[in-house]
Amino acid sequence: MVVRLSIPLIDPRASYLDCKEEIDAAIARVMESGRYILGQEVAAFEHEFAAYIGVQYGIGVGSGTEALHIALKACGIQPGDEVITVSHTAVATVAAIQLCGARPILVDIDPQTFVIDANRIERAITSRTKVIIPVHLYGNVADMQSIRSIADRHGLRIVEDCAQSHGATYGGQKSGALGNIAAFSFYPTKNLGALGDAGMVVTNDPDLSDRVRLLREYGWRQRYVSEIPGLNSRLDELQAAILSVKLKHLEQWNEERRKKAKIYTGMLAPLGIVCPSEGLGVKHVYHLYVIRTRERDALQVFLKKKGIQTLIHYPVPIHLQKAYKDLGYHHGDLPLTEQCSLEILSLPFSPGVRESEMEEVANGIRSFLNSQ
């Protein structure tokens, strides 16, 4: 029997409908311009987004994965190098490292915040380590003061993975302005989402910025003349124009996320559910609202029968996935990551989720717990 979803995890149309007239006008403007790749819309959005983050340079690329890949290449990552990051992340993080021919070194997470445990980084550093990638997962931000201190002591660069942290802050600074260079995804479901694939690299370093611009388009500074081997990863005019419109609404949408996360926590914490928590000095932007419960699998089935969609971000840690068995990790190597993967559940959540829907989700969870 097919269960009709009455409460989806997220509705990607919502942010479009929230500013439909502005977006439709921006689309029409691009379509009529006759310029569809790396034109004035891209240049304008690069400037606007960099200013929003609080950095000097923004370089639009084709996706968040490509943003990470190009950021790493700009840092000089090559075969034989090691990059420290987490196993509890989207596969894109590790895929980008391997696209450079480098080796991902995976460390455990803080089970309260779901981001890299800075206390575990130093012991993973070797003579081959070149970069640390803190993944600011679910809208939270890693302990960047500690990570910066470690990186400085060992002469390492920090590449922030900001795919899920648009507008989140640490110590008053936005994620993306806390390392040497950062990568953003504008996948449609992100806090700032395009209507297709899109990404951006941001940095304060003029040399890294210059290298990213060369890498994203065949190594060209002069058209058809390659200074370095490059890629084809260009942000198109249409997505840039759409993102420029949405950027004006991002702070409001993030405040709605924070407000609704507080409401969810008020409903669920008294039930014994482990709710999301912010790191010290962090302003969480709740890309996802992720709970923990040991009855996760049964709860997910129960909610599905009630028409409530949930997802698991992420069900199998990267170090235990078949595609990455050659990394040499085994069950038990990252115990906190592995335990979290068995307990986490993403609930329906977005700026547009209605409080009545949140109450229905909470009531469903209450009914499930009462039936146990």
In a domain, 77, yes or no: yes
Instruction: Write down the pTM of the prediction.
Output: 0.97
Task: Please tell me the predicted confidence (pLDDT) of residue 144.
Answer: 98
In a domain, 367, yes or no: yes
Q: Are residues 77 and 182 in the same domain?
A: yes
| Residue-level pLDDT, tens digit, the chain, 372 residues | 455 568 999 998 999 999 999 999 999 999 999 999 999 999 999 999 999 999 999 999 999 999 999 999 999 999 999 999 999 999 999 999 999 999 999 999 999 999 999 999 999 999 999 999 999 999 999 999 999 999 999 999 999 999 999 999 999 999 999 999 999 999 999 999 999 999 999 999 999 999 999 999 999 999 999 999 999 999 999 999 999 999 999 999 999 999 999 999 999 999 999 999 998 899 999 999 999 999 999 999 999 999 999 999 999 999 999 999 999 999 999 999 999 999 999 999 999 999 999 999 999 999 999 998
CATH number for the domain spanning 264: value is 3.90.1150.10
- Which residue do the tokens 């490292």 mark? 97
Q: Are residues 192 and 262 in the same domain?
A: no
What DSSP string describes 105-163? EEE-B-TTT-SB-GGGTGGG--TTEEEE--B-GGG----HHHHHHHHHHHT-EEEEE-T
Task: Please tell me the predicted confidence (pLDDT) of residue 3.
Answer: 55
Q: Token pair for residue 83?
A: 């990059």
CB 166 within 8 A of CB 192: yes
3-class state of residue 309 by DSSP: coil
Q: Are residues 173 and 109 in the same domain?
A: yes
Task: Please tell me the predicted confidence (pLDDT) of residue 4.
Answer: 58
Q: Are residues 356 and 239 in the same domain?
A: no
Taking residue 327's Cβ as centre, other Cβ atoms within 10 Å add up to 17
Helix crossing, 20-33 with 237-247: angle to 10°?
A: 150
In a domain, 7, yes or no: no
Final residue belonging to a domain, choices 247, 276, 303:
247
Output DSSP code: residue 62: S
Give CA–CA dist 197/63, Å, rounded.
5
Q: Which structural domain range is residue 242 located in?
A: 13-247
Q: Are residues 144 and 106 in the same domain?
A: yes
What DSSP string describes 242-267? HHHHHHTTHHHHHHHHHHHHHHHHHH
Q: Are residues 184 and 303 in the same domain?
A: no
In a domain, 359, yes or no: yes
CATH number for the domain spanning 197: value is 3.40.640.10
Q: Token pair for residue 47?
A: 């400037």
CB 349 within 8 A of CB 286: yes
3-class state of residue 37 by DSSP: strand
Q: Are residues 139 and 260 in the same domain?
A: no
Q: Are residues 230 and 292 in the same domain?
A: no
**CA-wise closest residue to 110 among 291, 332, 340:** 340
Question: What b/e readout covers 184-210, taking b as 16+ CB neighbours within 10 angstroms?
Answer: bbbbbebbbbbbebbbbbbbbbeebbe
Q: Are residues 145 and 217 in the same domain?
A: yes
In a domain, 5, yes or no: no
Q: Are residues 102 and 195 in the same domain?
A: yes
Report H helices in 34-168.
Answer: 40-53, 64-74, 91-99, 144-154
Count structural domains, the chain.
2
In a domain, 150, yes or no: yes
